[in-house]
Amino acid sequence: MAYAVKECFLTLQGEGVQAGSRAVFLRFAGCNLWSGREADRATAACNFCDTDFVGTDGPGGGKFADAQSLAQQVEGLWGEGADNRLVVITGGEPMLQLDSALIDALHERGFRVAVESNGTIAAVPGIDWLCISPKAGTEVVQRSGNELKLVWPQPGIDPVDLEGWQFPHFLVQPMDCEEREAAVQAAIDLAMERPRWRLSLQAHKVVGLP
Ligand code: SF4
């Protein structure tokens, strides 16, 4: 299978339980909840996206003919050293393209495979760390994984409804929007009122990493 990759680069994971970890970020092009065009944002199923996932023109991006060539790109970005190899596969929506062949090719090279998904498409087997970030008004079919990351506030989602899902970590992350201070306060309020939830901040934006 061929893969369309927006960008692929070495950085530190900025969010969630693994924040601060060295990782290759592999961002697939395309999402099933928004076209990525500003003209469509108001009518999209998800309309608070802060990511450019359109096309294949980012650093390290492109069209890759098969799993081996994409895994080779990831390994080349990591460089020498076999210790704690981590690739974070994101998007867009990575489940539109991620398959077992790519997971196997990354495992062969010693990578742990982390994935960040909106949960509307069932996850393929073999993922080592699965983060699901639900979006209001969508049908989340993937209700188990390693961390649930709720961008907050989102009218139409009741966090209490999510607490029965099968995740060891429940994270609430302030929405990156014009009303940022209010979003931070809302996230703090949720973590204070319901201790299942932990506050997650986007550390990469604080320190200026991509
Ligand atoms: S689901 Fe994720 S990638 Fe897709 S539009 Fe929403 S925030 Fe962006």
* pLDDT at position 202: 81
Q: Is 107 assigned a catalytic role?
A: no
Q: Is 116 assigned a catalytic role?
A: yes
| Residues recorded for the chain | 210
* pLDDT at position 97: 98
- Residue 165: CB atoms within 10 A of its CB come to 16
How far apart CA 34 and CA 48 sit, in angstroms, is 10
* pLDDT at position 129: 98
Give, for ligand 1, the residue of 7, 15, 96, 118 to mutate: max count of ligand atoms closer than 8 Å to Cβ. Answer: 118
Residue with tokens 């076999």: 82
* pLDDT at position 51: 94
Measured in Å, residue 83 CA sits from the centre of ligand 1 at 31
Task: Answer whether 28 contacts ligand 1 (Cβ < 6 A).
Answer: no
| pTM attached to this predicted model | 0.95
Residue 34 burial (C-beta neighbours within 10 Å; 0-12, 13-18, 19+): buried
Task: Answer whether 46 contacts ligand 1 (Cβ < 6 A).
Answer: yes
Task: Answer whether 49 contacts ligand 1 (Cβ < 6 A).
Answer: yes
Contact in structure between 145 and 132 (CB atoms under 8 Å)? yes
Task: Answer whether 25 contacts ligand 1 (Cβ < 6 A).
Answer: no
* pLDDT at position 204: 80
Q: Residue 154 has which token pair?
A: 């989102």
Q: Is 43 assigned a catalytic role?
A: no
Looking at ligand 1, which atom is closest to the CA of residue 90? 3
Tens digit of pLDDT at every position of the chain (210 positions): 899 999 999 999 999 999 999 999 999 999 999 999 999 999 999 999 989 999 999 999 999 999 999 999 999 999 999 999 999 999 999 999 999 999 999 999 999 999 999 999 999 999 999 999 999 999 999 999 999 999 999 999 999 999 999 999 999 999 988 888 999 999 999 999 999 999 998 878 877 877
Query: Which backbone phi and psi does 7 adopt, to 5 degrees?
Result: -160, 160
* pLDDT at position 67: 98
